[in-house]
Amino acid sequence: MKEMAEEQVKLCFETRDFHGSRYRCLLATNQPRPLVVEFLNSLVRPHAEVDDNDFYMPEGFCKPDEAKLGETPGFLTDEQREIATSWWLAVRQRANTPNWDIVSTCKIAGRKGLMLVEAKAHAGELKPNDCCGAGNEKNRHQIAAGIAYAKQNLGEGWALSADSHYQLSNRFAWAWKGANLGVPVVLIYLGFLNAREMRQPFTSHEEWERCLLAYADGTVPRQVWNSDSIKVNDTPLIPLIRSADVNVTV
């Protein structure tokens, strides 16, 4: 009994873990591995493939931690993580690189790559007026410079910014950085459908897509979505709009 007690791990959850997109990310990844792999493949097909040997986070309610590409081992090499963190942060103490709702390794065009998932469950999660909230002035400057550099390299029509549509901007900036490091990336904006505990839930894929495109217009060129047209030094960055109905049925 003592040995069993020593093996127990105390998990602490917040209210947000049991509703909206966070809850559904944990539900989707709380299944047996083959079902999680199939769920992930349903999001990336036909652009990428996840198999039983791939590594993903979170892993359901028992391993609920979200991945940070600059910090979490297993997705980028140690050298790549160091480069990415230095690109984003000037002062690392009490600072973070962004959390991702779901991350998984995968194969893209026969190369080892990453799928990065930003999930939403209701229209209120798309906030156009959000801006970088870094508490350190040097970090705010570094983050703004990193986003601006990604915008410049992505080319005409992009308006990524640390002062508006910040989360959208940092998601594309980090996807660009991964590709810049030679890692193919599928960036998925995932709309969870029928989250009826939330106000303004998405009830169809078409509703989610309309809402996302309207929100992203002026920041991300509309034509890049669901396209493999973006290449960063010949490394693909593929932004996809996907939806899924992940709910508990009684």
The per-residue pLDDT of the chain, averaged, comes to 93
* C-alpha 31: how far from chain center: 20
73-87 tens-digit pLDDT: 999 999 999 999 999
Q: Please, are residues 109 and 155 in contact by the beta-carbon 8 Å criterion?
A: no
Model pLDDT for residues 29-74, shown as the tens digit of each residue? 999 999 999 999 999 999 999 999 999 999 999 999 999 999 999 9
Q: What is the pLDDT of residues 143-178, one digit of tens each?
A: 999 999 999 999 999 999 999 999 999 999 999 999
Mean pLDDT, rounded, for 94-117: 96
Smallest CA-to-CA distance from 242 within 28, 63, 3 is with 28
Strand partners, 144: none
Angstrom distance (rounded) from CA 103 to CA 74: 10
Predicted pLDDT of residue 127: 87
